[in-house]
Amino acid sequence: MHTTKNLSAMVADVVAEHGFTLDEWMVLDAIRRNDGSAMSQISTASGCAGASLTRAVDKLVTGSLVYREASQVDRRKVEVFISDRGRDAHQELREQLRDLDERVEKMTSVSGISREALVELCGALRGI
């Protein structure tokens, strides 16, 4: 459990450099993977729900990263789509997260310690 928190904190640091919270990143990623999703689908895919989900989508809309449209099937529902700007931001951030994962993987193979132990160590060092 502690390892998961430390890894989440490491990811949160990377996404914060781009002005995102972890929830906002998870929502953007969910929309990128399922463009044109309803809010309920985004909630399921991102793990973000309720007011947090609404705030995250609102911020992404304000930043022109995603946009809302009424559903063509059911005009009472709203679907969320990723914009070109959002796609570019997602790609850039995804590459940085992939780099983080590769660095962790490389450090574990070079040092001979487990991924979990390395993440724990990084978490301890962050606290100093």
Tell me the C-alpha distance between 105 and 119, whole Å.
Answer: 10
Question: 3-class DSSP state for residue 109?
Answer: helix
In this predicted model, what pLDDT tens digit does every residue of 75-103 receive, in sequence order?
888 999 999 999 999 999 999 988 888 87
Going from N- to C-terminal start, the domains of the chain cover 2-126
Contact by Cβ (8 Å): 48, 26: yes
Q: How many CB atoms lie within 10 A of CB 109?
A: 10
Q: What is the fold, at CATH topology level, of the domain defined by 2-126?
A: Arc Repressor Mutant, subunit A (1.10.10)
In this predicted model, what pLDDT tens digit does every residue of 37-67 receive, in sequence order?
999 999 999 999 999 999 999 999 999 999 9
